[in-house]
């Protein structure tokens, strides 16, 4: 699949996603309307759509907030900035993405932004402290490939939609449980609503996961092509595989349903977004990805990783 075909396929998927989202939302609003009142259903729908639109318009800032990615003084990360510039030039991006830093010991990275010209790459401090330059370059190239093939666009939409669905389902669930006397409809309606409210967030999650799997292989291949170095990408993945801190996020993506307050919601969204954009969650197994790179590049990774100086050390010494 060429890059252009990939971009076109992503546009189509985005359209399907929007339609699916609206259908799911209509269903939920219908259920809310059925158990409470039609007017409540309409209001819920309007609020949810409004929230989604605002979220899409403000997605750059929102993703930064929920991931905890902060902007940093350009001078303090000059070598990293240069590395990202070089990768972007090699990828033929119209502009170099900004860099944001996430203070987290787990090595990881993500890309965000609706348009390639206004995107940014978030990297954890753990990534900088673990990866040597060559592998860091590969990880950045992987994220740049996501930006280039418009995955970030699709993923941002998916995250927002999943969040909105979870919000509406949560509200509906509360209305059902605590609604008391204002509740209408028989036991059957209530049961259907309960099932709907409980399952909707999982449906959204499933949708998201189905979107992200195959494109990881594509982004790996893209990174290998950008750097003309498939081995670097494979080495980076192996290093991620060997890193014990990655396990922390393994089960975070199911936390969606049990949110208490808006601040807690931000907390759970944070996990959801990370799970999505992280290099290794909702992703094919690292082993599979490494094997795909080995086959494409015609090489075998050595048993032991080269023990090169992590990039952060070079960052500091300059």
Q: Taken in order 70, 75, 80, 81, is the CA torsion positive or negative? A: positive
Q: How far is CA 309 from CA 76, 135, 142, 168, in A?
A: 19, 11, 21, 48
**How many Å apart are CA 301 and CA 224, to the nearest integer?**
14
Q: 98, 135, 137, 143: which is the annotated catalytic residue?
A: 143
In whole angstroms, the minimum distance from the beta carbon of 174 to other proteins comes to: 51
In whole angstroms, the minimum distance from the beta carbon of 7 to other proteins comes to: 11
Closest to 220 measured CA to CA, from 140, 306, 299, 309: 140
Q: Please say which residue, 86 or 125, places its beta carbon nearer to other proteins.
A: 86
Residues 58-97 touching other proteins, rule: CB under 8 A, are 82, 85-87, 89-92
Closest to 229 measured CA to CA, from 87, 112, 117, 42: 87
For the record, the structure tokens of 176 come out as 């059902």
Q: Please give the full DSSP string across 241-300, using - where no structure is assigned.
A: HH-GGGGGGTTGGGGGGG--SHHHHHHHHHHHHHHHHSSSTTS--HHHHHHHHHHHHT--
Q: Decide: 133 and 311 in contact? Cβ < 8 Å.
A: yes
In whole angstroms, the minimum distance from the beta carbon of 78 to other proteins comes to: 9
Q: Please say which residue, 83 or 175, places its beta carbon nearer to other proteins.
A: 83
Can 137 be counted among the known catalytic residues? no
* Sheet of 120-124, strands arranged across: 69-71, 98-102, 120-124, 109-112
Q: Please give the full DSSP string across 176-198, using - where no structure is assigned.
A: HHH-GGG--S-HHHHHHHHHHHH
Binding map of other proteins across residues 186-225, x = CB under 8 A, - = no contact: ---------------------------------------x
Binding map of other proteins across residues 258-297, x = CB under 8 A, - = no contact: ----------------------------------------
Q: Please say which residue, 42 or 89, places its beta carbon nearer to other proteins.
A: 89
Binding map of other proteins across residues 2-31, x = CB under 8 A, - = no contact: --x---------------------------
In whole angstroms, the minimum distance from the beta carbon of 79 to other proteins comes to: 9
Answer for which of 17, 226, 240, 273 binds other proteins (CB under 8 A) is 226
**How many Å apart are CA 61 and CA 120, to the nearest integer?**
11
Q: Taken in order 202, 268, 217, 248, is the CA torsion positive or negative? A: negative
In whole angstroms, the minimum distance from the beta carbon of 92 to other proteins comes to: 4
**How many Å apart are CA 221 and CA 227, to the nearest integer?**
10
* 141 near other proteins, judged by CB under 8 A: no
Total site size for other proteins, rule CB under 8 A:
13
In whole angstroms, the minimum distance from the beta carbon of 93 to other proteins comes to: 9
Q: Please say which residue, 228 or 263, places its beta carbon nearer to other proteins.
A: 228
Q: Please say which residue, 86 or 245, places its beta carbon nearer to other proteins.
A: 86
Contact residues for other proteins, defined by CB under 8 A: 4, 82, 85-87, 89-92, 225-228
Give catalytic residue positions. Answer: 143
């Amino acid at each position: 699949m060429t890059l252009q075909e990939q971009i076109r396929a992503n546009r189509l998927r985005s359209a399907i996603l929007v339609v699916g989202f609206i259908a799911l939302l209509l269903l939920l609003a219908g259920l809310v309307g059925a158990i409470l009142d039609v007017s409540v259903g309409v209001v819920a729908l309007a609020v949810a759509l409004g929230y989604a639109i605002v979220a899409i318009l403000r997605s750059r800032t929102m993703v930064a907030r929920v991931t905890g990615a902060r902007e940093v003084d350009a001078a303090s990360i000059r070598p990293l900035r240069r590395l990202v510039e070089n990768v972007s030039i090699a990828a033929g991006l119209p502009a170099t993405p900004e860099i944001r830093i996430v203070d987290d010991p787990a090595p990881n990275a993500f890309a965000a932004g609706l348009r390639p010209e206004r995107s940014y790459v978030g990297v954890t401090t753990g990534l900088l402290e673990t990866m040597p330059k060559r592998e860091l370059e590969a990880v950045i190239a992987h994220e740049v490939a996501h930006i280039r093939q418009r995955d970030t666009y699709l993923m941002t939409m998916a995250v927002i939609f999943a969040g909105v669905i979870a919000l509406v389902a949560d509200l509906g669930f509360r209305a059902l449980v605590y609604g008391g006397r204002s509740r209408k409809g028989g036991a059957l309606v209530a049961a259907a609503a309960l099932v709907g409210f409980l399952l909707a967030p999982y449906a959204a999650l499933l949708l998201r996961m189905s979107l992200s799997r195959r494109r990881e292989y594509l982004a790996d291949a893209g990174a290998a092509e950008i750097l003309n170095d498939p081995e670097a990408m494979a080495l980076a993945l192996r290093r991620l595989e060997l890193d014990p801190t990655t396990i922390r996020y393994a089960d975070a993506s199911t936390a969606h349903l049990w949110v208490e307050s808006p601040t807690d919601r931000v907390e759970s969204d944070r996990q959801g977004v990370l799970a999505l954009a992280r290099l290794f969650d909702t992703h094919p197994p690292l082993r599979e990805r490494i094997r795909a790179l080995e086959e494409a590049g015609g090489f075998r990774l050595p048993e032991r990783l080269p023990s090169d100086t992590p990039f952060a050390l070079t960052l500091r010494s300059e």
